[in-house]
């Protein structure tokens, strides 16, 4: 079939992902080729001390995003979008949405960005002997308990943004296991919430006398390939304001953006992982078994099929590096040299390859904000060197590229060295890797394993969500999700792989030791330079 016939016959999949700054929809065929896209830009608001998006913004954003997909189909293929093969909804993970029995908001939607849950997260981490980050849904719920929030007596459903949208479209109170792993700790053998921890939480809140228990209010856990309901008539009208979209379309389990990122980079099997490096940076490694002990620096989530995943998440990535490139752009302008930003990035990044493997003793921290991995609540961008350091442009740029991975590397060392996690393949994606062969080479040195970057970038998380929808209706015949991605979706896709040399690994290790030893310098800067 040609693309028009595929669309008319519904041999397609639609993924919609609610990101922090953009809601994006991607329509694909069942092989993963992108047919149409749509998007809606939005921003969170700080209202009464809570980072939130209003219900009106959520509803308007979803409809506008879908409208963009519909209009793109009409413009490209001259047909009206009346059906798709399957739909999947994704969103930024964590946060807190509390509904009453009529499905109405009881309180403002709290996004992952809120950090008002420190007391709850600390108490639950101690109770469970399992790291509960501040942004997790259960931390938000328990903080409401600690604060004696009056709305808790009326709670019927506590969930995340993607699960809420799925509920609006299907009436089903479910979520994918990857998203669920940011709600409450998961038992990867039973593919469900950890019952021992559920029992502990129920006992903890029992004195409050609520009419509900934990499992009464949290969404049911599903895995990739599970049926998760169909688009109702009300859901179709909610999604498509023109009324053209038909009810009855199957939906796959909704997922969090971590899970869709794993799918989009083919990093869902044990011993694989992916590193996203841009304004923030995070690494996710798929484990063969749970970690041996608790690490407050490491978040534990899962793949869409339930494999445990260890995440090293850094708030700071390339922002300070970008600022330095901006300084060089100012210098070029001052000297009357014409150089666009892309050319500057390419030349400066590539020139860094001529630097020393350990950056010649130069040290930098790109901390525009606090960094949980290194236990700092605030940050100050900082550059330091000794009088005998090898101070040249190549080493200067190399140190800033290294430090863009610095906090992530600290977390990765806990996994790779202390825990002995085995990694056979790492996928790199994000702005750090746009200049070929530079950031990719440095990441390979940081993890001590080959790093692959795809030549043809997909549409990211919403594309990954569309692939999960396609797997529901057409992929299970290929076996597991891991097999489906490897043999079908990513088969034949070209990319470049770089393996680190022993000298590069040794150099990054030397820089990392200097980075760890220098944390007191960064802490002193925070104390001395008050904001």
Q: What does the angle CA 268 – CA 274 – CA 277 come to, to the nearest 5 degrees?
A: 150
Q: Per-residue pLDDT for 457 more than 80?
A: no
Confidence of residue 21 (pLDDT cuts 50, 70, 90): confident
State the average pLDDT over residues 300-328.
93
- The verdict on residue 380 lying in a domain is yes
| Per-residue DSSP letter, 156 | -
Confidence of residue 470 (pLDDT cuts 50, 70, 90): very high
Task: Extract the tokens encoding 529.
Answer: 């330079």
Residues 6+ apart with CB under 8 A from 62: 16, 18, 23, 40, 165, 238, 239
Confidence of residue 520 (pLDDT cuts 50, 70, 90): very high
E-strand stretches of 72-228: 86-91, 97-99, 157-159, 174-176, 186-187, 192-193, 220-222
Q: Per-residue pLDDT for 456 more than 80?
A: no
pLDDT of residue 57: 97
Average pLDDT of every residue of the chain: 94
Task: Extract the tokens encoding 312.
Answer: 């090293």
pLDDT of residue 471: 98
Domain containing residue 354: 319-403+503-528
Rg of the chain over CA atoms, in angstroms?
Answer: 23
The C-alpha atoms of residue 149 and residue 100 are separated, in whole angstroms, by 14
Element (H, E) at 39: strand 34-41
The model's pLDDT over 27-62, given as tens digits with 9 standing for 90+, comes to 999 999 999 999 999 999 989 989 999 999 999 999
Confidence of residue 430 (pLDDT cuts 50, 70, 90): confident
- The verdict on residue 365 lying in a domain is yes
Are the beta carbons of 219 and 157 closer than 8 angstroms?
Answer: yes
State the average pLDDT over residues 423-452.
91
- The verdict on residue 465 lying in a domain is no
The C-alpha atoms of residue 118 and residue 109 are separated, in whole angstroms, by 18
Confidence of residue 277 (pLDDT cuts 50, 70, 90): confident
Residue 385's CB is within 10 A of a number of other CB atoms, namely: 17
Confidence of residue 458 (pLDDT cuts 50, 70, 90): low
**Range with lowest mean pLDDT among 74-88, 208-222, 419-433:** 419-433
pLDDT of residue 83: 97
- The verdict on residue 508 lying in a domain is yes
Structurally, the chain folds into a number of domains equal to 1
**Range with lowest mean pLDDT among 215-229, 233-247, 393-407, 451-465:** 451-465
- The verdict on residue 457 lying in a domain is no
- The verdict on residue 363 lying in a domain is yes
Residues 6+ apart with CB under 8 A from 174: 163, 166, 219, 220, 221, 222, 228, 229, 253, 254
| Per-residue DSSP letter, 227 | -
Task: Extract the tokens encoding 494.
Answer: 């070209």
pLDDT of residue 363: 98
- The verdict on residue 509 lying in a domain is yes
The share of the chain scoring above pLDDT 90, in percent, equals 85
The model's pLDDT over 372-400, given as tens digits with 9 standing for 90+, comes to 889 888 899 999 999 999 999 999 999 99
Q: Per-residue pLDDT for 455 more than 70?
A: no
pLDDT of residue 374: 92
pLDDT of residue 460: 84
The C-alpha atoms of residue 157 and residue 151 are separated, in whole angstroms, by 12
Q: Per-residue pLDDT for 78 more than 80?
A: yes
Residue 150's CB is within 10 A of a number of other CB atoms, namely: 10
State the average pLDDT over residues 117-142.
95
**Range with lowest mean pLDDT among 190-194, 224-228, 253-257, 310-314:** 310-314
- The verdict on residue 296 lying in a domain is no
Burial of 170 (0-12, 13-18, 19+ CB in 10 A): buried
Confidence of residue 322 (pLDDT cuts 50, 70, 90): very high
Confidence of residue 315 (pLDDT cuts 50, 70, 90): confident
Are the beta carbons of 321 and 327 closer than 8 angstroms?
Answer: no
Q: What does the angle CA 477 – CA 480 – CA 486 come to, to the nearest 5 degrees?
A: 95
Q: Per-residue pLDDT for 494 more than 80?
A: no
Confidence of residue 20 (pLDDT cuts 50, 70, 90): confident
The model's pLDDT over 151-163, given as tens digits with 9 standing for 90+, comes to 999 999 999 999 9
Sign of CA dihedral 173, 179, 183, 187: positive
Residue 473's CB is within 10 A of a number of other CB atoms, namely: 20
**Number of helical H runs and strand E runs in the chain:** 19, 22
**Range with lowest mean pLDDT among 62-76, 118-132, 288-302:** 288-302
């Amino acid at each position: 079939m040609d693309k028009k016939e595929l669309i008319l016959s519904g041999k397609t999949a639609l993924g919609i992902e609610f990101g922090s700054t953009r809601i994006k929809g991607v329509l694909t065929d069942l092989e993963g080729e992108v047919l149409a896209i749509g998007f809606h830009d939005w921003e969170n608001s700080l209202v009464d001390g809570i980072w939130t998006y209003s219900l009106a913004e959520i509803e308007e954003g979803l409809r506008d995003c879908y409208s963009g997909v519909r209009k793109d189909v009409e413009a490209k293929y001259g047909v009206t979008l009346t059906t798709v093969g399957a739909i999947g909804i994704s969103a930024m993970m964590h946060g807190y949405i509390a509904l009453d029995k009529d499905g109405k908001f009881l309180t403002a939607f709290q996004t992952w960005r809120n950090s008002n849950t420190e007391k709850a997260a600390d108490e639950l981490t101690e109770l469970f002997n399992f790291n509960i980050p501040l942004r997790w849904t259960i931390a938000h719920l328990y903080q409401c308990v600690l604060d004696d929030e009056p709305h808790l007596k009326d709670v019927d459903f506590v969930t995340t943004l993607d699960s809420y949208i799925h509920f609006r479209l299907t009436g089903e109170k479910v979520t994918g296991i990857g998203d669920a792993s940011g709600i409450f700790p998961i038992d990867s053998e039973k593919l469900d919430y950890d019952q021992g921890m559920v029992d502990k939480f129920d006992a903890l809140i029992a004195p409050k006398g609520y009419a509900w228990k934990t499992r009464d209010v949290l969404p049911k856990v599903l895995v990739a390939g599970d049926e998760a309901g169909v688009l109702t008539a009300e859901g179709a009208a909610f999604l498509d304001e023109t009324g053209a979209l038909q009810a009855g379309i199957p939906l796959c389990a909704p997922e969090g953006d971590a899970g869709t990122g794993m799918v989009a980079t083919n990093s869902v099997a044990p011993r694989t992982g992916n590193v996203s490096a841009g304004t923030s940076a995070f690494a996710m490694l798929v484990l063969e078994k749970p970690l041996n002990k608790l690490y407050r620096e490491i978040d534990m989530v899962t793949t869409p099929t339930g494999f445990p995943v260890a995440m090293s998440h850094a708030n700071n990535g390339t922002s300070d590096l970008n600022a330095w490139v901006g300084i060089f752009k100012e210098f070029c302008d001052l000297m009357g040299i014409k150089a666009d930003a892309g050319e500057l990035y390419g030349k400066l990044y590539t020139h860094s390859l001529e630097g020393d493997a350990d950056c010649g003793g130069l040290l930098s921290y790109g901390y525009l904000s606090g960094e949980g991995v290194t236990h700092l609540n605030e940050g100050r961008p900082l550059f330091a060197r000794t009088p005998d350091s090898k101070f040249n442009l190549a080493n200067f740029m190399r140190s800033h590229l290294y430090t863009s991975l610095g906090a992530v590397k600290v977390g990765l060392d806990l996994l790779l060295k202390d825990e002995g996690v085995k990694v056979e393949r790492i996928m790199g994606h994000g702005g750090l890797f746009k200049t070929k062969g530079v950031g990719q080479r440095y990441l390979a040195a940081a993890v001590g394993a080959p790093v692959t970057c795809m030549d043809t970038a997909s549409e990211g998380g919403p594309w990954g969500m569309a692939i999960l929808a396609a797997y529901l209706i057409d992929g299970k015949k290929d076996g597991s999700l891991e097999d489906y991605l490897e043999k079908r979706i990513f088969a034949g896709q070209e990319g470049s792989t770089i393996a680190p040399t022993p000298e590069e690994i040794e150099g990054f290790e030397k820089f990392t030791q200097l980075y760890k030893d220098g944390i007191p310098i960064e802490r002193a800067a925070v104390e001395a330079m008050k904001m």
